[in-house]
Each structure stands twice: as C-alpha cells, then as structure tokens.
Amino acid sequence: MAGHRARRTGRPQTLLPLRTRHLFHTLSCWYCDFKISAFNDLLFSIGRKHARFLRLWFALGVGFSFMALIGATLILLWEAAGALRLYNGTIVNWNFPTGMLFGLFPMVPGLRISIIDIGYMIISTLVSIAIHEFGHAVAAASEGIHIEYIAIFLAILFPGALVAFNYELLQSLPQFTVLRIYCAGIWHNAVCCAVCGLALFLLPLILYPLYVHSENPMVLSVAPTSTLSGYLSHGDIILSLDGSPIHDPQEWTRKMVLMDGHTLKESGNPKDSQGLSAVSGEKGYCIPSSWVEESMKVQPVLEPFACPDELTAFKSGPCFKSSSLENNSNNFSQQNITSSTHCLHAKDVVKLQKCGSGWQTTRTNHSSCPCSQDEFCLAPVQMPGLTWVEIAYSRPYSSECLQLGQNSLDDFENPNSGLTKCGGTFVFVGDVLSVVHSIQLTSYRPRWAFSFGPLFPNMLEKILAYISHVSATLALLNSLPVFFLDGESILETSLCHIPGLSPRRRSQVLRLCLLSGSFLSFLAFSRILLSLIVNVRTCGLPTHHHSYKVTTWNDEHLHCVFAQFLK
C-alpha cells in the first residue's frame, strides 16, 4: 500500500534537505522503514524533460481518481447497508467487488496456492508499488518539486512505500497541480492494470511465432496425490475426453463438471439388491461376440460385479437389444448374456467402437447403437457416484516420439498411424471433480521442443494476471477516504475547491469523512474475514456433496471456500 507524502496534521514537518547524503532509517516495535535517495536526480530529470506531456497525462488521472473515489465510497456504503440489513441481499451480490477492494480474491482461474505463487504475488506487489510511487515522483518532478527520499516501510504487518516531498513548496502550488501529484499513483496503477489486461488478451498473438494456442491443453504439473499421476506427466497433451476433443483448460474443466452432474443424476437410478448400480449409465462399447463368449468362461469373484485382477466387469448396455441375436451361431443364449457379468480387459475395450448416448462425441448418423450384427453393446459396471472417463493423450516431446519426427502429434491423431510410443488412451473411474484441479494445464503448446518452453507462457500469463490484480487493488485501496492513504490527500485538496468553507469548517468536514471512511473500511474488512473464517470451517467438515468433502488445505478446499463466499 502507498503511504502518505511527508505531510499531515497541523504540526510543522521536519524538512530534509533536497539532496540528502545520509538518511536515518526508522525502527520501532510497530514501524520500520528503509529510505532511498539514489533515484532522486534520475526521476527529477525524467519529470522535467517531459513536463508538458506529463501535466496533460496526469490531468487525465485526476478525473479517473475522482471516479475511483466515488466508486470505492459507494461500495463501502453498500457494504455497510448490507451489514445493517438495510437492503435485500438478493438484489446484487457485492461480496466480490468488496473483496477485490481489499485484494482478497485471486484473478487467476484455477489458482494453486504454492511457494511459486507466493513468489509471483511478492514480485507483482513490488512492481505495482514501484509503478504507484513512480507516478507520484514523476508528477512532482514535472512541477519542479524535488523528491526528498523514497521509503519502503512495514507498519505492523502491512508493507508499503512512500515518496517524501518538500511540503511547504508543495502547498505553494495551485490546487489542481497538487491534485495531479496526489492522483498520479492511482492513475498509474489503473493504466498498469489496463496494459496487463490488454497484454493478456493479445498474448496468443504475441507468442504465435513460438507457440500454438487453444489446440489442445498441455500438462504442466500433476499433483503427487492425484490419481492421474501415474498416467499423465509434464509435457503431455490431452487430446480428448470420451472421444470429444479438448482445446483448452477451461473446456477440460467444463466437460468434467458436466460429467460429474450426469453421474449424480444417474446415481438416482434403481440399484440391485446389493446397492450397486447395474451399469455405468449410457456409455457402452460394441463388444465382438467372440469376446463375450470367451468372457463367460472367466469365473467372477464372489463379490457382486467383481472380476479378477486386470479385468473390468461389463454388463448389457442401454442399446443391447439393437444387436441381432437371431443368427445365434455361437450357441449361447440371450438370457445368459444379459444376466451375466463379463470380465474384459479395459485397455482392449477402449479401442472398440462406442455405443450408447452417454458419450460426448457427436455422431453423424444420429444413432446411439452403431454395433454390427455380431457385436453386443456392453457397458462397464461401476459404483454409484463414480464416473467412467476415457482420456486420450499424446507425448510429442518425449525422447521416443521426437525420434519419429516433428509432426508426431499430428501422426498420433491419425488412427492409421500405428504410433504407440507417442501417447495412448486410458480410463479413469472415480470422482472427476477430485482430479479436475489436481493437474495444471496451459493452452499454449511450443512449436519446437526447447528448455522452459511449456513453462514460459504460463509464467508470463500468471505474472501479468497478478500484476493486473494487485494494481487494481492498490488503485481502489488508495481511493478509499481513509487516513494515511492517497484518498485522504485527494479529499483534503478537493475540499479547497468548495466555496464557502472556512479552513476550520473544512478541517471538520475532512475529519468526519475520514473517520466515517475508516470505520466503514474496517467494518467491511472484518465482515469479509469473518465470512472467510466461517467458510473455512464449513468446508473442512464432511457434507453431502462429495466435491466439498475435504480434510486438508488444498486447491479443492480453496475452491469450496470461495464458492461458498460468492453464494
């Protein structure tokens, strides 16, 4: 956060010389700072060299800062009205903008709290504060005011920075000139946020010479505790889910959520006497009759619908009757097939043609039963609440695949290529929401294999998103009419433009506005923290919805906390 500018209260300020050789740093039990004067001449030179342009530039910032001040004040008033129950909360949910006001909500989709993310946040905070203070310093220099020093401080547990000016010289300037200096930091943070947002929007075009965007998502990392850790690894490309192509991480998440909703709906289907679901719903495979006949020779385990190791149980699927059994040349009856559990190798079954209406692949013939006369539509047996998902992937950057040529990914997508070392298809059976956030994906795929190729776009995307978020938070936070922030200076200078206010009355109005703003800010911040604490305790307890049943602090836990808060 930005500190105030070597001014305030009615007490005389101790003015340091314009060129300070020795600065004394402050250290106490609640406040410490580090003062820097090495950049004074450089910043003053930049401000004076481009003074005419900078005055026009920061004049635009005055208008924006006033709008930000009004917007931040309205958010605080709305939050106070909500806390006092003066309005019906169903009209508009302002939890999100109020949280953004204090920087409590991440702007990065699929945020993963880790040491690397903390590093991104620290770097983004330093960059945003530097841009904020640079605005104040250059705005002052453009008006001929020297900088006394730049200080980085820590007040209790809150970090910040400030630029100290010659207060007496500052007060001798016209009021609108003073406003340009005070509004410069907020304006620079707002511009930084807009530039980062534009860069994020144009990032696929900027990286186009080196990266392919939104063709297929690439795996950056897989959590060690994830059930997919043994199948997917860094650099793998996810091609499809249940035969439906996947183009980006958002589509991966959306289709997984749809599958989970479909599974929950199917869990209400009638169950057998043992409480197990008879089949996996509408997902089936066209099994040759010879495989079915051989499977009947395998003796299932005593448990219902269980098979020996490495085999999976299948039963008659939703379009079983579409397969013709009239030409029964294999001498086994339809009754035996429909009532028996067939134990088959899943890795062989997934290569067969699909049947049933549960697959996400769009069929051109509009038929859910494409099996031939000598095939049967069988569906895998699974426990209620679990989902059967086919995940196709490729490994174009593995050493084996690189030896086959640079077009290995295109070759793998061709079913007639015969390549097996560059990828494959595996089946995941379980809770899809538990794994949807356990792997980190990116929409960018490098055109050539080179060091840090897959990681660079993700790092650039994250740093831009974090800087945008922190800059927006810093601009809104400094717009608040509270003590010790830019909002105090802007409000005090603005009151000087109101005719009819004596200095004494102006001081009273300023103090009343600052006390009210500080109290409302404290109220809003306390309400948000209390809500988050309650949600953390709620999400730590088992609930009926399995996606919120967590016992450790992880991505799923954070997803639950923020989802509960935004309800």
Q: Which two tokens stand for residue 513?
A: 């506005």
SS3 323: coil
SS3 444: strand
Q: How far apart are CA 530 and CA 248, in angstroms?
A: 36
Calculate Rg over the CA atoms of the chain. Answer: 32
* CA trace torsion 296, 300, 305, 309 (10° rounding): -110
Look-up of token digits 């070392």? 421
SS3 36: strand
Residue type present at position 199: A
Q: How far apart are CA 200 and CA 194, in angstroms?
A: 10
Rounded (5°) CA angle 484-490-493: 115
Q: Which two tokens stand for residue 13?
A: 């300020």
Q: What is the largest CA-CA distance in the chain?
A: 106
| Helix H or strand E segment including 158 | strand 158-165
Q: How far apart are CA 191 and CA 332, in angstroms?
A: 75
Helix, strand, coil percent content, the chain, rounded in steps of 5: 45, 15, 40
SS3 19: coil
Q: How far apart are CA 343 and CA 330, in angstroms?
A: 19
Look up 168 and say whether it is catalytic: no
Q: How far apart are CA 147 and CA 36, in angstroms?
A: 10
Strand partners, 158: 155
Choosing from 133, 143, 148, 492, the catalytic residue is 133
Just list the catalytic residues: 133
